[in-house]
Amino acid sequence: MKCPNCKLGRMYPAVPHKNFPESGLQCDVCHGSGILPEYFNYLPEEGKILKENRISRNVLLRDEAHRIGVCARRLSCMERGYFKKGGES
Ligand SMILES: [Zn+2]
């Protein structure tokens, strides 16, 4: 399936930002391919629940990532709905 995180592998800000290149940034989910990698399950609702749960506990992303033993980048992906198939080891 097409990567829901980007446009053809590039990410653009919702609001134009001076520190953001006009050509966009390479998507950190599909790494620029524009196709959602096979090893991801896209579960936006679960990601949303995860994020809301963390925020309700007033925990920072990196602290929560440390607590569950993943890197912050990984948790950020999960909160946007990208879960690796076969668990998050
Ligand atoms: Zn992408």
Regarding whether 15 and 58 lie in a shared domain, the answer is: no
- How many domains does the chain fold into? 2
Q: Is the pLDDT of residue 62 over 90?
A: yes
Regarding whether 58 and 31 lie in a shared domain, the answer is: no
Regarding whether 25 and 49 lie in a shared domain, the answer is: no
Residue 46 token pair? 């679960």
Regarding whether 72 and 57 lie in a shared domain, the answer is: yes
Regarding whether 61 and 26 lie in a shared domain, the answer is: no
Q: How far is the CA of 66 from the centre of ligand 1 (A)?
A: 25
What's the pLDDT tens digit per position in 45-57? Answer: 999 999 999 999 9
Q: How far is the CA of 2 from the centre of ligand 1 (A)?
A: 8
Q: How far is the CA of 4 from the centre of ligand 1 (A)?
A: 6
- Read off the pLDDT band of 42 (50, 70, 90): very high
Regarding whether 78 and 57 lie in a shared domain, the answer is: yes
What's the pLDDT tens digit per position in 1-38? Answer: 999 999 999 998 877 777 778 889 999 999 999 999 99
Structural domain of residue 25, as residue ranges?
Answer: 1-37
What are the b/e assignments for 6-43, b being 16+ CB within 10 Å? Answer: beebebeeeeeeeeeeeebeebebbebeeebeeebebe
Q: How far is the CA of 57 from the centre of ligand 1 (A)?
A: 30
pTM for this model (two decimals): 0.81
Regarding whether 30 and 5 lie in a shared domain, the answer is: yes
Regarding whether 50 and 29 lie in a shared domain, the answer is: no
Regarding whether 25 and 52 lie in a shared domain, the answer is: no
